[in-house]
Amino acid sequence: MSAYMTSVLACAAVTALCAIMSPEDGTTGKYIKYISGIVSLSVIVSPLLSALRSPHALPGMPDAETYAGYETYDIFAELLKKAEGDVAETIKHDAARAFGLKEDDISVTVSLSGEDMSDVRISYVAVSLTGDAVWTDAAELERYIKENYDKEAEVGVFYE
C-alpha cells in the first residue's frame, strides 16, 4: 500500500512541475496538462485494473500461498450444529408445557439434515424422560412432536 501511495505522490509532483513549467497560453501548455492528467489518472486507477485481472492483485490482499495453510471452515455445518441445540431447546420447552412436565425431567437431542439452508429438516429427535416424566405416554409424545415439527422425523422416546 505504501508503494502505491508513493507512486501517486510522485506522479502528482511530476504533474505539478509540468503544470508550472508549461506555458500558460497556447496549445502546447494545454497538451502537456492533458497528457499529465491522463498519466495521473492511469497511476491512480492501475490497482483497480489489476484487480479485474486477479482478485489477489490489490495491495494488501493475501495471495494463494497465504490461504494454503488455513483450514477450511464449513459455516453451514456450524450453523446446523447451533440450530440443532436451539431446536432441541424449543421442543423441550414446548413438550414440557404441553404435557405438564418439569423441564428438568425431559432431555431432547435433535439431528438436522440438509444440503443447504433451504433444505434443512429434522431427521431425528431423541427424547429422554426421567423423574415424574416417565409416566408420559411415549406414543402421544411422539405424535405431538411429529405433528408440530416434522411429520417425517424419526422420534425416539427413552425412559431413564
pLDDT of residue 143: 92
126 SS3 class: strand
Domain 75-159 CATH class label: alpha beta
State the Cα torsion 45-51-57-63 to the nearest 10°.
Answer: 160
Length of the chain counted residue by residue: 160
Cβ-contact 97, 137 below 8 angstroms: no
Q: Which amino acid is at 156?
A: G
pTM of the model: 0.54
Distance of CA 128 to CAs 21, 139, 153, Å? 88, 13, 16
Provide the terminal-to-terminal Cα distance of the chain, rounded to the nearest Å.
Answer: 64
Q: Which amino acid is at 79?
A: L
Distance CA 28, CA 20 (A): 13
One digit per residue, pLDDT tens: the chain, 160 residues?
Answer: 677 788 888 888 888 887 777 777 777 777 777 888 888 888 888 777 766 666 555 555 555 555 555 565 577 788 888 888 999 999 999 999 999 999 899 999 999 888 877 788 889 999 999 988 888 898 999 999 999 988 888 999 988 8
Cβ-contact 8, 44 below 8 angstroms: yes
